[in-house]
Structure 1
């Protein structure tokens, strides 16, 4: 009897009382991949449970806007890029950044060196006299590449891309917007050598915009501030463990790929895990898990200047202080 009582006391000490008793649904913006390894690790290795969080993970359907999931009473949290969150934010359902994961931009344009030796050559004409073509993602993910092209005064035809690198392989586009941790690897895996490619990293041209963050409605954070703080801590711990134990992380990634009937390429996912984790800045206590005011202000200024944003909440409203936290 005494042993049972002591075990119960220990359990109560481990589970934060503010977090217990509620299930949280966290929605990823696309199919399972190493970009979300820290979240998978936090779930499957019991990190969420140690923080007293009952979390269900699901993935966005391609035809649904990621922020529409927050209107669903079964989904309180989403992962999304900062630019998309700012463009979506509105007074009727304001968003809050609970945690910032990727602190740097991974977006770059890739071109064949034989056709485009330097950025300015995108202004030259194709052999048939038509303008050069640049493949860019659809929807919320086209904003930064389009701003980049406009700032560089490149007169090109933008070709919408749903996903993948097929248009680049078929030579249907002269350059393609890619993520350095994802599609760039796919191009290399298709047989290109790095020396054959010209890469234009947006961060090298003054567009180092933070990417993935964890978002909820402001009302959710107002009602459950402690749980939101614990969610951030648990995911950051999941990421630290995923980086420390990459083989275990890959096992969890494959688990989610199998559940969603999504392809799993271990070499691709290992590349992504290594490349993406470098952008998290987990070794920097000033950056780790936080959206910096300077980054927020510069992003708002950039989007406003290019007509992509009419207004924006204050930094304090967009990144409110959570319990036991001092704002950066």
Structure 2
């Protein structure tokens, strides 16, 4: 169950800074002088759309910022406002309440909301693979989920913990056999020795560790200093970043359904941009407010691409087997307090490939590479503190 990560060659912070300058120019360039990004009639004719993210601006969401900055939303006749969340907004709640038109959220979290009464549909499964890790020290003896028993296991909570409990259930481990430690969105508790195995995302907290100097050597930690368990390699793996829409509006509002396809077309092109130019994508997220340093942000863009590409059936198309595995894990997961994530199968309306398949097919006809079959990640050199 060990998941090894290739060690890191070099893309410079200077190169990323240059990319920031270029993307800033591109984003501010007029689009009425021969470009096709905006309708000649002007922005007044664009359909206003609100997209709710599940966290702050960062390269985890690079495709959406690329679609905005490169004019892909405008090309589809949409004026999109991207709304971040620092934990103060629950994306699926904002969508269910009618505050936004679409939302980015993890599948298991929304399954819980659907069982509680939310009427939402997964219209595009952007992340095809789980990016969650559990990280321990190399000499800890923690090599797999089987080794969690009796250990202090870190988790952020807020619905991020369900992969842990699903993986434990698959191994026949009772949730009460571990001590769940509430973990901040950093690795400080782990580095301080308060946590035996800390939760981390491949694109964020894992990089935070590799950006940290070992106090004994003064050199940055390397992957050999840690034991890394990838939930993608376990039965607890669950689908993560997906795009959600209002089910009732999809069924009753033809204009909303049509807009959904246009929205997805632009999103696909945004993620293709992020795939083909990770440096520019990272620069865009910094430009849009990310507080991460350039090497960290570039790492995030690269690792996010790995969760999306290649997409055998087309980016965003929901794989039935992966969906069923996520539902099975959600049904099996029981936390340390005995609570269940869900207790019954979600309704058939919980996901639909209708809109994403239409968007994928139309772009494929236009020559857009919607599968990324030849995708190869770049090499990124992390620096101290991600700068």
TM-score by length of 1: 0.84
Deviation at 1:145, TM superposition (A): 1.3
**Aligned counterpart, 2:15:** none
Deviation at 1:105, TM superposition (A): 0.8
Q: Distance in 1 between matches of 2:157 and 2:288?
A: 25
Tell me if 1:62 matches 2:87. yes
Q: Distance in 2 between matches of 1:60 and 1:185?
A: 22
Give per-residue Cα distances to partners, 1:286-313, cap 9 Å, x unaligned.
1421112222222222222334212333
- Conservation of the 8 A alpha-carbon contact between 2:154 and 2:197: yes
- Conservation of the 8 A alpha-carbon contact between 1:98 and 1:229: no
Q: Distance in 2 between matches of 1:320 and 1:174?
A: 40
Deviation at 1:149, TM superposition (A): 3.1
- Deviates further, 64-73 or 216-225: 64-73
Tell me if 1:180 matches 2:224. no
Q: Aligned match of 1:240 in 272, 297, 302?
A: 272
Q: Aligned match of 2:301 in 249, 258, 273?
A: 273
SS of the aligned residue for 1:268 comes to helix
Q: Distance in 2 between matches of 1:232 and 1:151?
A: 35
Q: Aligned match of 1:309 in 339, 342, 349?
A: 342
Q: Distance in 2 between matches of 1:189 and 1:157?
A: 28
Q: 1:46 to 1:132 in 2, by over 3 A?
A: same
CA RMSD of aligned residues (A): 2.8
SS of the aligned residue for 2:288 comes to helix
Tell me if 1:216 matches 2:237. no
**Aligned counterpart, 1:132:** 151
Q: Distance in 2 between matches of 1:13 and 1:65?
A: 32
Tell me if 1:103 matches 2:125. no
- Conservation of the 8 A alpha-carbon contact between 2:317 and 2:357: no
Deviation at 1:132, TM superposition (A): 2.2
**Aligned counterpart, 2:263:** 231
Q: Distance in 1 between matches of 2:299 and 2:226?
A: 18
Structure 1 segment 74-89 matched on structure 2, within 5 A = 74-89=99-114
Deviation at 1:197, TM superposition (A): 0.5
**Aligned counterpart, 1:171:** 193
SS of the aligned residue for 2:57 comes to coil
Deviation at 1:207, TM superposition (A): 3.0
Deviation at 1:316, TM superposition (A): 5.0
Q: Distance in 2 between matches of 1:312 and 1:230?
A: 30
- Conservation of the 8 A alpha-carbon contact between 2:164 and 2:236: no
Give per-residue Cα distances to partners, 1:94-125, cap 9 Å, x unaligned.
101121100011111110012225335443xx
